[in-house]
A and B are shown apart, each in its own frame.
Chain A
Amino acid sequence: AQSVAQPEDQVNVAEGNPLTVKCTYSVSGNPYLFWYVQYPNRGLQFLLKYITGDNLVKGSYGFEAEFNKSQTSFHLKKPSALVSDSALYFCAVRDPHSGNTPLVFGKGTRLSVIA
């Protein structure tokens, strides 16, 4: 069975500093990995995904994530945090072997960027 772990409930970072939100996964075979962001009272917004190819993927709003197969990780990063990045971030994995499988989400990490 697929699973995703986000080991940190909360990440605090000062504005302008780099940020990392951690994610590890468990899935058989090569995973499809996603990051979503949720702002208060809003739905989930897609940030980026890893399907295949370059291990470093770039997404919306300056975010990027690095796929590390040996460590089964897919950490979300941004070189310089903004106060507006404060939100709830979800990592998700999907079974690549079936055409319509659901996303399996981690429990989420709340990012707080302090001015």
Chain B
Amino acid sequence: EPEVTQTPSHQVTQMGQEVILRCVPISNHLYFYWYRQILGQKVEFLVSFYNNEISEKSEIFDDQFSVERPDGSNFTLKIRSTKLEDSAMYFCASSDYGTSDEQYFGPGTRLTVT
């Protein structure tokens, strides 16, 4: 069964450093998302992406964040200058048609900012 994959599984970085989180969505999916989950809290939406552009973003997704689909398979989330409060589990998701379709989530990347 096809699945969303994410690398790395765990990333430790120092405050102020740039990080890139990588995702490979399910191959025939058209819609892509990033969510995050701070430890012990609920899953929060960051950004959605369709047709090579951002569809929607939350207030969390400020100028420090960017997304890119550099080729036909990868979908990346970049944090330009990490802060302590960026420490969280970051989930990538993809879906086929959009609203009525379920989103399939990757296993997540645990980002620890020290």
The residue from B41, B45, B97, B105 contacting A44, defined by CB atoms under 8 A apart? B105
- A62-97: CB near B (< 8 Å → 1, else 0) gives 000000000000000000000000000010001111
- Whether A98 contacts B42 by the Cβ 8 Å rule is no
Within 8 A of A (CB), among B41-56: 41-45, 48, 50, 55-56
Q: Count contacts between A and B, CB distance < 8 Å.
A: 67
- Whether B50 contacts A90 by the Cβ 8 Å rule is no
User: With the chains together, A104 CA to B48 CA distance in Å?
Assistant: 13
Interface on chain A toward B: helix, strand, loop, or mixed SS? loop
Which interface residue of A41, A44, A97, A105 has the most chain B CB atoms within 10 A?
A44
User: With the chains together, A98 CA to B105 CA distance in Å?
Assistant: 20
A95 contacts across to B, CB distance below 8 A: 99
B91 within 8 A of A: yes
B98 within 8 A of A: yes
State whether A99 and B105 are in contact (beta carbons under 8 Å apart), knowing that A104-B45, A107-B42 are contacts in the complex. Answer: no
Min Cβ gap B33→A in Å is 6
- Whether A46 contacts B42 by the Cβ 8 Å rule is no
Q: Which residues of chain A have a CB within 8 Å of any CB of chain B? A: 32, 34, 36, 41-46, 49, 51, 90, 94-108
